[in-house]
Structure 1
Amino acid sequence: MTKSRMFRLSLVLGSIFMIIFIIVFWDNGGTTQSYLHTSYTRPVSPQKTEKPPATIRNEETAYMADVDEFLDMFLNSSMTKTNNVNERTAQTLPLGSSRAIVASLEENVRGYDWTSQDNKEPLDEEMQQAARKETLRHFCANSSFSFATKHRTFDDIPNKELDHLIVDDRHGIIYCYVPKVACTNWKRVMIVLSQSLTERGHGIPYRDPLQIPREDVHNSSTHLTFNKFWRRYGKFSRHLMKIKLKKYTKFLFVRDPFVRLISAFRSKFLLENEEFYRSFAVPILKLFSNHTDFPATVSEAFSSGMIPSFNQFIQYLLDSQTEKEKPFNEHWRQVYRLCHPCQIEYDFIGKLETLNEDAAQLLRLLDVDTRLQFPPSYRNRTASSWEEDWFAKIPVAWRQQLYKLYEADFVLFGYPKPENLLED
């Protein structure tokens, strides 16, 4: 009886020791690969090295043998593994290392005319990225520039605020999506790369991003995000997040903050959307209009012309009670609150104003450009040149308050202060 008890105790202690050993090894050494991985506190882009095909394949196999599988086995995770045994044999493409990034000058233009860029002299891609990242690092470190949440650590970020960080373990990529900044198509790209969704009726992973239905793209169950780690890994979740932030390639796309607001208003209030009508349009009209009786459906509201104005939408954003009742909706929440750029140093910062060029550059850096292309974007976008028209009826005092509300996004991502809108 004593021997049996001692054997079980030894087995338990041995298992615990192995878990600690694997985690410590993974944190210190990790897997050997040539990916564009950098530290989550200070990015460094290693030089690309040539390796024989056999070495690359061995590294891919080692990479797929993630600590996820080890923890799933010993902790009896109830969540389906992202990388199962069958996926190990799937055809994958290794990520390449970036070329050296040098310091440079950032493009000093605001807005984008959305016309053909063929006649414009292209900026050096590496210089552009270096400038964007340097701007972000500078203002995150600048003690004279402050905003809410700037000084927290990664551990201080509540789990519910990590829901925009999508993880692709197959290729070592983390994408922070920002609504109204081409996030639908970037989510499609992430689905194709991670093979997280299969074609309906065929059972094979999607290969063409545009074939993925929009409702599946925005279904939260489709993506593995950081806020899901707690359910999967429990107390190990933060540790594993830091490992992936240290070793994975991290990117996001941003946009002129005021233009993003206009785009959000147009898509959520000027198009029939039942959810946004009930959750936001009706409350806005109750607060900032003389109406007391509201149509039951969004279709009836549109027929009667009872929809919020842009003026009322801005009032809603500036009202101090709005945030007290619930956080801003993700479509108009500030980027620094969605993606935590002072806690996570991104390897690539794309902009919607240069979407086509930036998307092509990123896919090349990830060495997946031969596998897929970023879906072509429609041209009917909200243009920066429209800002003056949209804000014409907004009092200057309100515009100034609105700028303060979104100032961190303007500054961190290199968008000039819109002086023309803020002066009397």
Structure 2
Amino acid sequence: MGTWRSLRVAFVLGSLFMLLLIIAYWDDIGSFNLYPFQDLKHDSLPSDCGSRRLPSDALVSTASTIGAQRNSPVTFPPTARITLSPEDTAQARAEEDARKEGNAVPAGDRNQDVRKQRVADVCSGKNNVEFPGRTRVIEQIPYRELDHLIVDDTHQIIYCYVPKVACTNWKKVLVVLSQALISPSSGKPYTDPEAVPADIVHNSSLHLTFAKFWHHYGSLSRYLMALKLQRYTKFLFVRDPFVRLISAFRNKFGRPNEDFYKQFGSVMLRRFGNTSGSLPETAAEAFAAGIKPTFQQFIAYLLDPETEKDGVFNEHWRQVYRLCHPCQIKYDFIGHLETLEEDTEHLLKLLKVDHLLRFPSGARNLTSTSWERDWFAQIPIETRKELYKLYEPDFELFGYNKPDGLLQQQLD
């Protein structure tokens, strides 16, 4: 009986001790959060080069478990603004202030300050330039419109690629950094961007973009997007909007291109080519017969309301503000194709990858601003003015001069 009595006393004392512990730590228990990823801080982002995943294994496991317990995924309201923690905001501000410390500011940094301030002014309405989506927030942009934002978690980089603005070479750089492609000759990931095949880098499966986030992260998508946009280095490259149009036309319609002929070229010829009868079925046959879209037809197609209604404003001539959303995303670096060499050198140092690779020298796009006069000579002045209005936001956002010579006089 003595032993049994001792056990009962021990049990009572143990229970009292546990009760005291619960009372003492009640505040901590009361603040326990069933969904720890809602309090995710930047410290959970991997800084090592061995992982391509943003959340920790525990975070992914927790998110998967919670998602499996629900009949349907929980989504953020499309117009809801995601509020980051004060720590996140303070850290981002501190990093920005650190970059601006010191009296001596390198020329490259001064250029960046000017370019970024220009974007901020236009987006705030100071330049009196209105365009669709200027005032919306990032959470209101559908996933499908975020497909040009490539994410490299390993190096904490976000690159918005703009077709006809050195995007092939920048995609090569991202492939090397992310080790996303194996060289058939070595059996190892490519280490030299020059060696990466140009036709392969445009395969969308190679790149993680914001458009894929819902598939990868489900209800975590918008929150993780916000964290990465706050934490990662974001950049894009732009060029003179009219020169980019000329480059796109030369590349896609100046030589046989089956895909672009079938989807766009044949439409231009039917609407604006005054062709009678049926068109050749292939681009090769059309070019052999001397039937191909002209630059005038291309411009008429861009200005045709039916083009936008059809939803086929292709990425090669879609405005940069629609591809990269500069009013919603505060880019850390804005490069210009016209100053590609110095901008690239500066950016690789900013990204802290200049010791890992060199930017491909490659074939340069030869389309020049000096060509504009010849290309637009047959385009009526009123048509040029309409075209300028279509691309005015890009001219204003990225500091390109209004082409007054094209808009005010007839060209010989």
Aligned to 1:284, what secondary structure does the other structure show? Answer: helix
Q: Which residue is equivalent to 2:339?
A: 354
Q: Is the 8 A contact 2:115 2:399 kept in 1?
A: yes
1:141 aligns with 2:129: no
One-letter amino acid of the structure 1 residue matched with residue 133 of structure 2:
T
Shift of 1:286: 0.4
Shift of 1:327: 3.7
Query: Looking at both structures, which has the greater relative contact order when contacts are Cα pairs under 8 Å and sequence separation is at least 6?
Result: 1
Residue 270 (structure 1) aligned to one of 246, 254, 261 = 254
CA distance in 2, matches of 1:198, 1:261: 34
Q: Which residue is equivalent to 2:150?
A: 166
One-letter amino acid of the structure 2 residue matched with residue 360 of structure 1:
E
1:301 aligns with 2:314: no
Shift of 1:377: 3.8
Q: Which residue is equivalent to 1:55?
A: none
Show structure 1 runs of 5+ residues with no match.
Answer: 1-13, 34-58, 79-95, 106-122
Aligned to 1:360, what secondary structure does the other structure show? Answer: helix
Q: Is the 8 A contact 2:44 2:55 kept in 1?
A: no
- The 1:217–1:394 alpha-carbon spacing in structure 2 relative to 1, beyond 3 Å, is same
One-letter amino acid of the structure 2 residue matched with residue 225 of structure 1:
T
- The 1:334–1:61 alpha-carbon spacing in structure 2 relative to 1, beyond 3 Å, is closer
Show structure 2 runs of 5+ residues with no match.
Answer: 1-28, 68-94
- The 1:399–1:302 alpha-carbon spacing in structure 2 relative to 1, beyond 3 Å, is same
* Aligned length in residues: 348
- The 1:195–1:166 alpha-carbon spacing in structure 2 relative to 1, beyond 3 Å, is same
Higher Cα Rg, which structure: 2
Aligned to 2:200, what secondary structure does the other structure show? Answer: helix
- The 1:246–1:406 alpha-carbon spacing in structure 2 relative to 1, beyond 3 Å, is same
Aligned to 2:100, what secondary structure does the other structure show? Answer: coil
Aligned to 1:402, what secondary structure does the other structure show? Answer: helix
Aligned to 1:60, what secondary structure does the other structure show? Answer: coil
CA distance in 2, matches of 1:229, 1:19: 23
- The 1:261–1:68 alpha-carbon spacing in structure 2 relative to 1, beyond 3 Å, is farther
CA distance in 2, matches of 1:102, 1:406: 38
Q: Which residue is equivalent to 2:36?
A: 21
Q: Is the deviation greater in 252-261 or in 186-195?
A: 186-195
1:337 aligns with 2:322: yes
Q: Which residue is equivalent to 1:320?
A: 305
Q: Which residue is equivalent to 1:30?
A: 43
1:223 aligns with 2:223: no
Residue 163 (structure 2) aligned to one of 162, 169, 179 = 179
Shift of 1:326: 1.2
Aligned to 1:242, what secondary structure does the other structure show? Answer: helix
Shift of 1:159: 0.7
Residue 240 (structure 2) aligned to one of 252, 256, 270 = 256
- The 1:215–1:69 alpha-carbon spacing in structure 2 relative to 1, beyond 3 Å, is farther
Give a deviation string over 1:287-322, Cα, whole Å, max 9, x none.
001213111211111111110000000000000111
CA RMSD of aligned residues (A): 2.7
Q: How does 1:21-420 map to 2 (within 5 A)?
A: 21-26=36-41, 29-31=42-44, 60=48, 66-67=54-55, 69-76=57-64, 99-100=99-100, 124-142=107-125, 144-200=128-184, 202-291=186-275, 292-379=277-364, 381-420=366-405
Q: Is the 8 A contact 1:102 1:126 kept in 2?
A: no
Shift of 1:99: 4.2
CA distance in 2, matches of 1:324, 1:103: 52
Q: Which residue is equivalent to 2:73?
A: none
- The 1:61–1:270 alpha-carbon spacing in structure 2 relative to 1, beyond 3 Å, is closer
CA distance in 2, matches of 1:102, 1:336: 32
Aligned to 2:216, what secondary structure does the other structure show? Answer: helix
Aligned to 1:214, what secondary structure does the other structure show? Answer: coil
CA distance in 2, matches of 1:32, 1:76: 18
Shift of 1:214: 2.0
Q: Is the 8 A contact 1:257 1:409 kept in 2?
A: yes
Shift of 1:102: 8.8
One-letter amino acid of the structure 2 residue matched with residue 73 of structure 1:
S
Aligned to 2:317, what secondary structure does the other structure show? Answer: coil
Shift of 1:422: 0.5
Q: Is the 8 A contact 1:101 1:127 kept in 2?
A: no
The TM-score normalised by the length of structure 1 is 0.77
